Amino acid sequence: MTAPLTSLDALAGREIVVGVTGGIAAFKTATIVSRLVQAGSGVSVVMTENAAKFVTPLTFQTLTGRPTYTDLFMSPEVYHGEHIALADRAELVLVAPATANCLAKLAQGLADDLLSTLLLAIDVPLLLAPAMNSRMWLHPAVQANVKTLGNRGVRFIGPEEGRLACGATGPGRMAEPEAVLQVIAEMARALPAGR
């Protein structure tokens, strides 16, 4: 018997920033974003240049009713840079998929695009949903980055074992949207009321 899904009621009225990096699993992120919006969350999406090769910014703009942020030097909403405006708005941040490159940049404190800069500017809970080839996921450098980020309080969901885009089977498949949503709801319940 399958365990019942947790209610997504805790997501209503929450401001969530969703980062999308360059992997085929980005299509799952569209489902996550759609469900967050349906649950009553305000969702802002930040995409890397490579993410836009898998899913278009227009997809997320349509789902959220908000601009999709792709460039560190877009016109800022307020007097300070977009990464700071987004960081100030966020109550929780999800990166899905989180590629090996994303994990490495965050672990090392590198900031060379809007998403990596934003991730260094946030002071809210961060959930990463890794997705990559099994050999990449199991590489000692990637595992060291995961350990470093875990020690800093970053939360992970997945990756799962299964068939990967390359045709191989193993760990590296991004967690399914419902599983990600359940963790986000759990994290939202732990947040203080209104930011």
Beta strands in 77-177 (DSSP E): 92-98, 126-130, 155-156, 160-163, 169-173
**The whole model's pTM is what?**
0.91
Active-site positions read 166
| 140-180 per-position pLDDT tens digit | 999 999 999 999 999 999 998 887 777 778 788 999 999 99
pLDDT band at residue 78 under the 50/70/90 scheme: very low
Q: What is the pLDDT of residue 166?
A: 72
pLDDT band at residue 189 under the 50/70/90 scheme: very high
- In this predicted structure, the answer to whether residue 1 has a pLDDT above a threshold of 50 is no
- In this predicted structure, the answer to whether residue 3 has a pLDDT above a threshold of 60 is no
Rounded Cα distance between 95 and 141, Å, is: 19
- In this predicted structure, the answer to whether residue 80 has a pLDDT above a threshold of 60 is no
Count of C-beta atoms within a 10 Å radius of residue 56: 14
Q: What is the pLDDT of residue 192?
A: 85
What fold does the segment set 10-176+183-189 form as a domain? Rossmann fold (3.40.50)
Report DSSP letters for 39-99, one per residue: TT-EEEEEE-TTGGGTS-HHHHHHHHSSPEE--TTSPPSSSS-HHHHHHHH-SEEEEEEE-
Give the max Cα distance, the chain: 53
Q: What is the pLDDT of residue 93?
A: 98
Q: What is the pLDDT of residue 168?
A: 78
Q: What is the pLDDT of residue 163?
A: 76
Count of C-beta atoms within a 10 Å radius of residue 140: 7
Mean pLDDT of the chain: 90
Which range is least confidently modeled, 37-46, 65-74, 107-116? Answer: 65-74
In the numeric block, the tokens 């990756």 are attached to 159
Specify the 3-state DSSP secondary structure of 106: helix
Nearest residue to 69 via CA among 86, 50, 84, 55: 86
Cβ atoms of 139 and 132 within 8 Å: the answer is: no
Q: What is the pLDDT of residue 6?
A: 58
Q: What is the pLDDT of residue 136?
A: 93
Pairing type for strands 160-163 and 169-173 reads: antiparallel
Regarding predicted confidence, which is higher, 167 or 71?
71
| 113 Cβ neighbours under 8 A, 6+ residues apart | 48, 49, 72
| 5-23 per-position pLDDT tens digit | 558 999 999 999 999 999 9
- In this predicted structure, the answer to whether residue 135 has a pLDDT above a threshold of 80 is yes
